[in-house]
Amino acid sequence: MIPIEFYPFWKHRFKAHAARSLERAWWTKRLGGQDAPSLLRRVLREVRRNGPIRARELAPDRRGEGTWWNWHPGKVALEHLWRTGQVAIEGREGFEKRYDLAARVHAAAHRTKRPPRRQLIDWACRSAIDRLGVATPGEIAAFWKAVPIVEARHWCDRAIDSGDIDPVMIEDIQGGRQRAVATPHARRWANLDPWSDEFRLLCPFDPVIRDRRRLERRFGFDYRFEAFTPAAKRRYGYYVMPILHGERFVGRIDPRFDRNAGRLEIRGPWWEKEAGDRNDRRRLDRALDRLAERLEASRGWRYARD
């Protein structure tokens, strides 16, 4: 979910996807090859006339059967039009999206002009470092994937000269050192004592873990979100939550909320090396109490039996 204030900057992403997507085999194959432009025009016309619509309302073409999630060409066309900013998600029914013209969904934002390139670079880099606190230019560029590393590096040089950020050296889990930048707030955080000895259960989309390479380099924690992995190939589970203790990741769990039974079921835990002693198990129990309370699990939680 992206704040609507960011919509003008996303227009650069729409333009980039439109320019390169039809040169990629994944899209062209699923859009019918040379017929792709014609299919996109027909689907856009259908949305304009009858939107908001769901993908199922476009007659499935069995040529798409067997592809990822069995997307038929009409569904692929809707996704392409969404990624190029021509349609938007008007709402959802469960996991099923309803598509409509972007001009009808985000009327005011849609009319806003695309900001100039220099403004995009400043927004992408500044908003990224504000959220990361400490990062290399490469990590700043990777946060939104809106600018290349070279532009992020030039932005960092200018921001250091203006005093907006500070140059720092950071050490990874293997002892290697890298040049990076930090916000003034992050420099102050480094001198604070840990605020709690409790475990934190992180959402798979938490900013701390969303850059998997950064996560491995900084914390030595190998994490993958497996919801889109076929069940038989998952290593841990559908919605695995990392366990954070201070500045260390100590393990992971796979929770499932059975709403009918009002109970939170937990697979795992899977502990990292040198974790999982009696104190850690007690910390995890308290963290699961908090999670169950937040989810309003009337019957609390229990460890699932595989």
Q: How much is the mean pLDDT over the chain? A: 90
Q: What are φ and ψ of residue 4, in 5° steps?
A: -60, -25
- Portion of the chain with pLDDT greater than 90, in percent: 69
- Report pLDDT digits (tens) over 202-254: 999 888 898 999 999 989 999 999 998 999 999 999 999 999 998 899 999 99
Bond before 148 cis per omega within 30 degrees? no
Using pLDDT thresholds of 50, 70 and 90, give the confidence band for residue 172: confident
Least confident of 57-61, 64-68, 178-182, 299-303: 64-68
Domains and their CATH numbers in the chain: 4-111 (1.10.10), 117-189 (1.10.10.10), 199-303 (3.40.630)
Phi, psi of 169, deg, nearest 5? -115, 135
DSSP per residue, 221-253: ------TTS-GGG-SS-SS-EEEEETTEEEEEE
Which pLDDT score, from 0 to 100, does residue 61 have?
46
- Checking if the pLDDT of 300 tops 70, the result is yes
Inter-CA distances, 62 with 32, 38, 44, Å: 12, 18, 20
Residues 156, 35: Cα–Cα separation, whole Å: 44
The residues, any chain, with a CB within 8 Å of residue 124's CB and separated by 6 or more, are 9, 140, 141, 143, 144, 146, 147, 152
Long-range contacts of 226-230 (CB under 8 A, 24+ apart): none
pLDDT in tens, 134-169: 999 999 999 999 999 999 999 999 999 999 999 999
